[in-house]
């Protein structure tokens, strides 16, 4: 082989290699596009896919003659009981909600509410049995829920993507609720609130209600999921400043453990985990020190909660944000 032939051969190899690489890259790109098709568009078609698929709406609801579920409201036009399909029905329901609440509801607001907080309005003759569709096992995200709203609107109503994308004050609160639940890995903040009242509110204030042993949690969502989770599972790991655990031993050797809630020249006031407040004369105190390794907040609270309840409490905590932090 002459040197020229060899050179031509090498050039050909390089060109061929380049073509193969481009072909490979194109396959990768189109393959990538196929993967992305699992993500829905905020459109009636996207929502239809969710309604009859991941959202499992069809297991409870029929849409007119479509589907076989009969135990929950038909969302299409069906018999005397359902003269209007849900898109048109939502307009009527919105009027009812406006009258009940004194807040102006649009049809979009009603549909968003029916998904975000189903117990806000219970359809006559039915029970509060609608699934929390953004909690496990269904776990729709906010985008999927917006798509479903567009699909519901397309059933005899006006599809209004603009009001879905730029929500009113009513809808935006519900979007926050769904986003907070998703950020917490899915959960039902409604049930979370009940669990919070049962297990936490003796010690914590939330929007002006509850005990005052521990810190006010009205804006705890700002601190993020990881912080909140750790605070509950291992309270002593990071003590909220000002909430250190004091151990006071008096002259008779009696130990009082709790938060130092007040101190004057002559007395120290200790609030115990039970909420009981003990006032001790400084002259009676033999020893007073901070126990670095302890929190007044019990570390076994999750034992009183099921895994689901804990998840729901986290979703509820993630909802508690200051104004500026709302998404």
Nearer to ligand HEC, 173 or 243 (CB): 243
Work out how close the CB of 151 gets to ligand HEC at its nearest, in angstroms, rounded to a whole number.
8
Please count the other Cβ atoms lying within 10 Å of the Cβ belonging to residue 11. 10
User: How buried is 160 (Cβ within 10 angstroms: 0-12 exposed, 13-18 middle, 19+ buried)?
Assistant: middle
The Cα–Cα gap between 252 and 206 comes to 39
Q: What is the largest CA-CA distance in the chain?
A: 107
Peptide bond between residue 137 and the one before it cis (omega within 30 degrees of 0): yes
Find the length of the chain: 327
Work out how close the CB of 210 gets to ligand HEC at its nearest, in angstroms, rounded to a whole number.
10
The Cα–Cα gap between 191 and 189 comes to 5
The Cα–Cα gap between 243 and 260 comes to 8
Cα separation values, 205 from 216, 272, 320, 324, Å: 5, 16, 12, 20
Work out how close the CB of 283 gets to ligand HEC at its nearest, in angstroms, rounded to a whole number.
27
Nearer to ligand HEC, 111 or 176 (CB): 111
Q: Interface with ligand HEC by CB under 6 A: which residues?
A: 51, 55-57, 59-61, 72-73, 86, 89, 93, 111, 114-115, 118, 121-123, 126-131, 133, 148, 152, 199-200, 202-204, 213-215, 217, 220, 228, 231-232, 235, 239-240, 243, 273, 295-298, 301, 313, 317
The Cα–Cα gap between 37 and 41 comes to 9
Nearer to ligand HEC, 152 or 176 (CB): 152
Nearer to ligand HEC, 89 or 176 (CB): 89
Nearer to ligand HEC, 176 or 239 (CB): 239
Nearer to ligand HEC, 135 or 232 (CB): 232
Work out how close the CB of 274 gets to ligand HEC at its nearest, in angstroms, rounded to a whole number.
7
Per the structure block, which two tokens stand in for 287? 């020893």
Work out how close the CB of 89 gets to ligand HEC at its nearest, in angstroms, rounded to a whole number.
5
Work out how close the CB of 281 gets to ligand HEC at its nearest, in angstroms, rounded to a whole number.
24
């Amino acid at each position: 082989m002459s040197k020229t032939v060899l050179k031509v051969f090498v050039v050909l190899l390089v060109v061929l290699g380049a073509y193969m690489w481009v072909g490979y890259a194109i396959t990768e790109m189109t393959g990538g596009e196929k993967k992305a098709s699992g993500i829905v568009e905020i459109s009636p078609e996207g929502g239809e896919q969710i309604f009859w698929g991941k959202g499992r709406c069809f297991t409870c609801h029929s849409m007119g003659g479509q589907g076989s579920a009969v135990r929950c409201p038909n969302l299409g036009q069906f018999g005397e009981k359902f003269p209007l399909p849900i898109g048109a029905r939502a307009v009527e329901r919105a009027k009812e909600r406006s009258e009940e609440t004194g807040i102006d509801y649009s049809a979009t607001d009603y549909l968003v509410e029916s998904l975000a907080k189903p117990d806000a309005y219970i359809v006559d003759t039915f029970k509060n049995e609608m699934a929390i569709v953004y909690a496990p096992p269904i776990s729709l995200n906010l985008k999927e829920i917006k798509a479903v709203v567009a699909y519901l609107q397309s059933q005899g109503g006006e599809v209004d993507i603009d009001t879905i994308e730029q929500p009113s004050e009513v809808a935006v609160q519900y979007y926050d609720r769904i986003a907070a639940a998703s950020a917490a890995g899915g959960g039902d903040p409604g049930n979370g609130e009940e669990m919070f009242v049962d297990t936490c509110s003796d010690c914590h204030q939330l929007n002006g209600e509850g005990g005052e042993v521990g810190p006010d949690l009205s804006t705890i969502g700002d601190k993020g999921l990881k912080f909140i989770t750790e605070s509950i599972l291992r309270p002593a790991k990071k003590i909220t400043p000002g909430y250190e655990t004091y151990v006071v031993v008096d002259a008779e050797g009696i130990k009082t453990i709790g938060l130092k809630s007040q101190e004057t020249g002559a007395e120290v006031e200790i609030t115990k985990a039970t909420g009981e407040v003990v006032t001790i004369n400084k002259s009676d105190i033999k020893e007073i020190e901070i126990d670095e390794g302890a929190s007044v907040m019990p570390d076994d609270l999750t034992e009183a909660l099921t895994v689901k309840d804990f998840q729901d409490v986290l979703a509820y905590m993630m909802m508690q944000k200051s104004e500026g932090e709302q998404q």
